């Protein structure tokens, strides 16, 4: 009974999170380009617009990737996994 309620709610929440994240990500790019002086349709863009494009599409992804790698190294689930399995087996044995 629990899984029939939990899993659809989990997938719905994940889908909503993806949609919200995609919306904010797209808006962030648009806002950044607007702040940088990007004007669509122009053959030549201002230096500030080119700098903003470089930051948004090269430097920011590199910085975020490095941050994610650091966070993954700090994530200690692999070390805790055997203990979690033992505790779950103990709970299931006592029920």
Mean pLDDT of 1-20: 77
Mean pLDDT of 49-60: 96
- Residues with Cβ within 8 Å of 32's Cβ and at least 6 positions away in sequence, in order, are 52, 55, 56
User: In the predicted model, what is the mean pLDDT of the chain?
Assistant: 89
Q: To which H or E segment does residue 1 belong?
A: none
CA atoms within 13 A on the CB side of 78: 4
Does the pLDDT value for residue 3 go beyond 60? no
Please check whether residue 33 is in contact with residue 53, taking contact to mean a CB–CB distance below 8 angstroms: yes
Mean pLDDT of 62-75: 94
- Residues with Cβ within 8 Å of 39's Cβ and at least 6 positions away in sequence, in order, are 45, 46, 49
């Amino acid at each position: 009974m629990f899984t029939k309620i939990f899993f659809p709610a989990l997938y719905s929440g994940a889908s909503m999170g993806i949609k919200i994240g995609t919306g904010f990500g797209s808006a962030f790019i648009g806002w950044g380009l607007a702040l940088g002086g990007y004007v669509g349709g122009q053959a030549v863009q201002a230096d500030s617009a080119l700098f903003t494009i470089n930051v948004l599409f090269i430097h920011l992804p590199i910085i975020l990737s490095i941050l994610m790698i650091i966070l993954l190294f700090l994530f200690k689930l692999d070390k805790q996994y055997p203990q979690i399995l033992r505790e779950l087996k103990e709970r299931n044995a006592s029920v």
